[in-house]
């Protein structure tokens, strides 16, 4: 059905991918709201809900797109969606947010979350460059063992996050409840939005890539990655505008960690992810973004990402994107 409509031209594909992003983002919101309300009614604490349902929800767009990509064999989209999303999260979203208002950081983020984000990028780069048996795929991407290791690191990250959260319950957000019927409706609408949005995005992205004569990797790094990062972008800008900038940093870094350890780990475990031209550069830039953020919060007296650091992040992205597009 979707393939038949896409045959009508590239403008149909562009419309479909926009509709897909709207369905994906709204679907994730509905799913989180519905699931959080149901969990609250079962007596689960706001702290646990925030660390599970809400945290997973922010990475749902990337997760769904990856699952659809892996299922349909578009593995280039699966890996570039994650690397591209993390690059945009760190360089663009934090860069823009810091220009609006300096981003504060919490001690746990400086000492654990950001280093874990750096390690995530380095691990992906290592799996590609070392080309170890089972760790890497047959052609130098990420193999099943690499995917399993990423999931194990994800479990460790969750353990440390829960351990910290139990000692700092004041950091938990308040979860709002709704009627059971409304919560179930939100769940169903959320799942439907995610599935429909994921299908539209992947099929449209593949169609656009073939019509424009560019690789799926470039489409994944730009169009798809930007679209799946929309929730983080909206949340971070609103947080900065309300001077709650520490939320912006935690939101972005947490999403990056979920993306690599959980989403990429799950994807590679299901189907080994092959390499593509420029994958080493993309992994380097993903790690570099987190390194710049870590240096910024460690060297600043107030442990903030100031406007100059935000400008540096945006300049790095501008240079990287220009290079990638000129060397397609």
pLDDT at 174: 61
3-state secondary structure of 154: helix
pLDDT higher than threshold 70 for residue 127: yes
Which CATH number does the domain housing residue 258 bear?
Answer: 1.20.1420.30
Among the residue ranges 69-83, 141-155, 292-306, the one predicted with the least confidence is 69-83
Query: Considering only CA atoms, which of 17, 93, 92, 103 is closest in space to residue 61?
Result: 17
Q: For 245-264, write each residue's pLDDT tens digit.
A: 666 787 788 888 988 999 99
pLDDT at 309: 93
Give the chain's mean pLDDT.
Answer: 80
- Could you report how far apart the first and last alpha carbons of the chain are, in Å? 31
State the Cα–Cα distance between residues 67 and 192, nearest whole angstrom: 15
Is 161 or 259 the better-scoring residue by pLDDT? 259
Query: Considering only CA atoms, which of 81, 40, 91 is closest in space to residue 60?
Result: 81
State the Cα–Cα distance between residues 42 and 39, nearest whole angstrom: 5
3-state secondary structure of 257: helix
Q: Which of 21-25, 110-114, 191-195 ranks highest by mean pLDDT?
A: 110-114
**How many Cα atoms occupy the beta-carbon half-sphere of 225 within 13 Å?**
30
Q: For 26-80, write each residue's pLDDT tens digit.
A: 887 787 788 778 877 777 666 566 556 666 777 788 888 888 888 877 767 778 8
Domain count for the chain: 1
Averaged over 12-26, what is the pLDDT?
Answer: 81
- 315 — pLDDT class (breaks 50, 70, 90): very high
pLDDT at 100: 84
pLDDT higher than threshold 50 for residue 5: no
Structure tokens given for 145? 């063992």
State the Cα–Cα distance between residues 166 and 156, nearest whole angstrom: 16
Q: Which domain, by its residues, includes 228? A: 2-326
């Amino acid at each position: 059905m979707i393939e038949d409509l896409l045959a009508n031209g590239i403008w149909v594909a562009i419309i479909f991918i926009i509709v897909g992003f709207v369905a994906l983002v709204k679907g994730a919101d509905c799913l989180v709201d519905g699931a959080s309300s149901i969990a609250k009614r079962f007596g689960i604490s706001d702290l646990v809900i925030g660390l599970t349902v809400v945290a997973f929800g922010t990475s749902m767009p990337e997760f769904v797109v990856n699952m659809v990509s892996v299922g349909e064999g578009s593995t280039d989209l699966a890996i570039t969606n994650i690397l591209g999303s993390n690059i945009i999260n760190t360089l663009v979203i934090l860069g823009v947010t810091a220009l609006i208002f300096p981003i504060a950081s919490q001690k746990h983020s400086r000492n654990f979350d950001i280093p874990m984000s750096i390690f995530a990028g380095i691990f992906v780069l290592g799996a590609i460059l070392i080309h170890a048996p089972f760790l890497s795929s047959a052609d130098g991407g990420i193999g099943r063992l690499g995917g399993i290791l990423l999931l194990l690191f994800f479990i460790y990250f969750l353990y440390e996050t829960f351990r910290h959260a139990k000692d700092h319950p004041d950091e938990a957000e308040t979860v709002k409840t709704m009627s059971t019927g409304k919560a179930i409706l939100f769940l169903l609408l959320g799942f439907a939005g995610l599935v429909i949005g994921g299908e539209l995005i992947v099929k449209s992205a593949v169609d656009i890539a073939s019509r424009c004569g560019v690789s799926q990797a470039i489409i994944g790094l730009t169009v798809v990655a930007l679209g799946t990062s929309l929730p983080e972008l909206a949340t971070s800008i609103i947080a900065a505008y309300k001077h709650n900038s520490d939320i912006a940093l935690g939101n972005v870094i947490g999403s990056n960690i979920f993306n690599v350890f959980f989403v990429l780990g799950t994807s590679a475990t299901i189907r080994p992810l092959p390499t593509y031209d420029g994958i080493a550069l993309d992994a380097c830039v993903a790690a570099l973004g987190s390194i710049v953020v870590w240096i910024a919060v460690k060297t600043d007296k107030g442990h903030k990402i100031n406007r100059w650091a935000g400008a540096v992040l945006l300049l790095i992205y501008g240079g990287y994107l220009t290079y990638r597009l000129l060397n397609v």
